[in-house]
A and B are shown apart, each in its own frame.
Chain A
Amino acid sequence: MSDAEAELPAPFAEALAYVHSHRDGEVRIDAVKDNFAYLWIGSIAKNQSSETPGGWIRLPLAFPYANPHGLVTREALRSSGERLVSDGHNPNHDMCAPVRGVGGAHYYSWTWENAPQLRSPQDIVGVVQWYERRIRLG
């Protein structure tokens, strides 16, 4: 457990443990900036073998009482039609800064507005799936 993970609020830590046990690939906190953690999900992808998986979800430390706000990736994302995802795409944005040192270069400013209501730490799994759908939709 990293130092950042040791100081997480209990519901966030519970969410982290839950996603660890329900997702393949690496799951870790790479940075905490203000009220958000950068949660690396190694397997986040739109389910196509050609792409490079992985991304950082900006997850609020107050999860599930606050919403995820944005995704940072190493490479520009492509939708299911292989078109570059343009919606909310901000290359080299300030929001990438906390994870720039580990390759964070593309910020997708997708908020949780109009997304399913978050009620429990276990909803973290649905959050990852929602971001994957968001990538597919482009």
Chain B
Amino acid sequence: MRLEFAITEKQMDDVLHRLFGAGAHRPQDPERGFLAAVFPATGASRRTLLLGQIVEPENGDVYWSRKDGLVMRHRYYSRALSVIQSLPGAGLLNVHSHPRPLTGTSPPAPSDQDLATDARELCFASRALPEGRAMAAAIVTPGGGLSLREYKFRRPRIAAEAVRSAFGPEGAKFAFAERVRVVGPGLRAIWGDPYRKPPRSVLNAAMVDSSILLWGAGGQRVLSALTIGIAGLGGVGGIVAEHLARLGVGTLILVDYDRLEDGNFNRSQGATRSEMALRIPKVEVYSRVAKEAATAPGFQVFPFRESVAESAGLNHLLDCDIVVAAADDAFARQVLDHMAYAHLIPVIDGGTTLVPDSLSMMLTAGKSQIAAAGAEHACLECQGVYSQEEATVARESATWGKYIDVETRGELVTSRQLRAPSVICNNGLVASLIGLRILAIALRVTPATLRGTQRYYVEDGTLAWGAVKGCRSDCLKASWSGQGDAHFIPVGEDIRWKKIRQQEVTDGTPP
């Protein structure tokens, strides 16, 4: 499992201020440091450590000595451990500064003294916390370069083990975080391992020369290093998958459980009639479409026939840098809204509501809406994308609420959810606005479009920004920021997916 570190932009500013700016604890010292809580956030193939609460050093807690280097007193460790013991799931992070290089984000390498001191201090501190808690050390440079090591220590079970070096600091094993993600309202990923070079992405310049004119080869490399998840491969998600592949995004993770059917063919851009006839799962269809459209050399796409409302589907999205919420379901939206804050993964949601006149069947009203959520964004709930009651109704059994019985030749065939009107042109508009929002977040090409709710009003054809710029004062989402696995994400059973699974087992349908 690869290791990363994530921190919000606000936290990064605070860290740089504490270590190098006016907020430095002892500005006369060549190196400075502090202790903080750290939370793991675990996906299917990525473990991310997230910065939690910083424990303020008091006078004399941290000082520089010519002989020992940067010293953090045991009384400071003791106080920090008391704080961290009260935070469920939290581990300990030791952060210190290196004065050079002054600019650039190259990851700083630890000195031999750093390695010896950190292993010793963290080993003994780890014994004050429940087994399995994260123990890590990070180094920061003035330009914002950051390297982080996560340590593993063997915990002695018997007295004889306690005196063996394999169970002490000498037995420590550590791994560097490969990347550091600085999140919210934009996203910046920097390389974190000082002993390995970042993979050099080769660009297919002939295919992407028109966009390189806008954001340069550097911007194109940023896109090719991104992993973007798409939850829901319907009319919007399918188009987003193709757009992102053509833009040059390097990796896509697709999650949806539906199959392509005749009822959704009129808005399934890129899908073929034979795929419809064979009722191929949508994730397979759009995996093929994305592969054929991809411009990034080495492009990868991973399809998962799952529901994001269930932990099995969500786990794959926890490996992503950005997630697109195109599932058009309040349960899924609520799950992703929680994920955006707890796991520091920005979410971009999009959908359309079209309202026909019941008599004339003409379109009378409707709107398309795109909203971004996550660190330093308002949450989807406060932006009016879903309500808790809607998310509850979506958890109810399949016979609850808006279902109709479908009859064929007088025989009850199945119960089917009432369908909402949908038009590929509106889906395409939403998909395009989602793509533009991703470019704003990842490349900052249009900084003014990073935050908020963008709405297209169908009846008069206007595009406008919603008034909500932040969460309500009583909203708790920001308080979950960076809690990772310690925060319960309200996944459950997707009742519709459960019924489909059961039916396919009964029918003997191949997966």
**Assuming the A-B contacts A35-B395, A66-B395, A94-B399, are A118 and B492 also in contact, with contact meaning beta carbons closer than 8 angstroms in the complex?**
no
Q: Is the CB of A67 within 8 A of B388?
A: yes
Q: Is the CB of B395 within 8 A of A60?
A: yes
A113 — nearest CB in chain B belongs to which residue? Answer: B389
Query: With A61-B492, A65-B338 given, is the CB distance from A34 to B395 under 8 Å?
Result: yes
A-B contact count (CB 8 A): 56
- Chain A's closest residue to B309 (CB) is A35
Q: Which of B338, B392, B393, B493: most chain A CB closer than 10 A? A: B392
* Chain B residues within an 8 Å CB radius of A67: 388-389, 392
CB–CB B488/A10 < 8 A: yes
Which residues of A from 72 to 112 have beta carbons under 8 Å from B? 94, 111-112
Query: In this assembly, does B490 line the interface, its C-beta being within 8 Å of a C-beta of chain A?
Result: yes
Chain A residue numbers with a CB within 8 Å of B392 are: 60, 66-67, 69, 111-112
| Complex alpha-carbon distance, A117 and B395, angstroms | 18
Bound-state Cα–Cα, A11 to B476, Å = 14
Q: Does A23 contact B (CB under 8 A)?
A: no
* Min CB–CB distance A33 → chain B (angstroms): 8
B471 to chain A, nearest CB (A): 13
Q: Is the interface of A mostly helix, strand, loop or mixed?
A: loop
Rounded to whole Å, the gap between the CB of A97 and the closest CB of chain B is 10
Interface pair B495/A34, CB less than 8 Å apart: yes
Give chain A nearest CB distance to B264 CB in angstroms. Answer: 26
Using CB atoms and an 8 Å cutoff, list the residues of chain A in contact with chain B: 9-11, 33-36, 60-62, 65-67, 69, 94, 111-113, 117-119
Determine the distance from Cα of A113 to Cα of B389 in the docked complex, in whole angstroms.
6
Chain B interface secondary structure, helix, strand, loop or mixed? loop
Of the A-B pairs whose beta carbons lie under 8 Å apart in the complex, a sample of 11, sorted by A's number, is A11-B488, A34-B492, A35-B495, A62-B492, A65-B388, A65-B391, A66-B334, A66-B392, A69-B396, A113-B389, A117-B474
Complex CA gap A62/B391 in Å reads: 10
Q: Are A66 and B388 in contact (CB under 8 A)?
A: yes
Q: Which of B476, B490, B495, B498 contacts A62 (CB 8 A)?
A: B490
Within 8 Å by CB of B389, from A9, A94, A111, A119, lies A111
Tell me the smallest distance from the CB of A100 to a CB of chain B, in Å. 15
| Residue ranges of B at the interface with A (Cβ–Cβ < 8 Å) | 334, 338, 388-389, 391-393, 395-397, 399, 474, 476, 488, 490-493, 495, 498
Does the CB pair A65–B395 fall under 8 Å?
no
Interchain nearest-CB distance for A110 vs B (Å): 12
Smallest CB-CB separation from B395: which chain A residue? Answer: A35
A contact residues around B391 at 8 Å (CB): 65-66
Complex Cα spacing A112 to B493, Å:
20
Q: Roughly how many angstroms separate A108 CA and B370 CA in the complex, as a whole number?
A: 37
- Give Cα distance in the complex from A69 to B395, angstroms: 10
Task: Collect the chain B residues with CB atoms within 8 Å of residue A11's CB.
Answer: 488
Tell which of A10, A11, A34, A117 has the most Cβ of chain B within 10 Å. Answer: A34
Whether A118 lies near B388 (C-beta < 8 A) is yes
Q: Rank and list the top 3 A-B pairs by shortest CB-CB distance, nearest first.
A: A62-B490, A35-B395, A65-B490
- Contact residues in B for A61 (Cβ distance below 8 Å): 492
Q: How far is the CA of A25 from the CA of B306 in the complex (A)?
A: 42
| Least Cβ–Cβ distance between A71 and chain B, in angstroms | 15
Kindly list 4 other residue pairs between chains A and B, CB separation below 8 angstroms, not including A33-B397, A65-B488, A112-B389.
A60-B395, A67-B389, A69-B396, A111-B392
- Specify which chain B residues have a CB less than 8 angstroms from the CB of A119 in the assembled complex: 474, 476
Find the residue from B397, B476, B488, B490 having the highest chain A CB count within 10 A: B490
B89 to chain A, nearest CB (A): 10
User: Which chain B residues border A112 with CB–CB below 8 Å?
Assistant: 389, 392
- CA of A33 to CA of B399 in the docked complex: distance in angstroms? 13
- How many angstroms between the C-alpha atoms of A34 and B400 in the bound complex? 12
* Bound-state Cα–Cα, A65 to B397, Å: 18
Assembled-state Cα–Cα distance A65/B334 (Å): 9
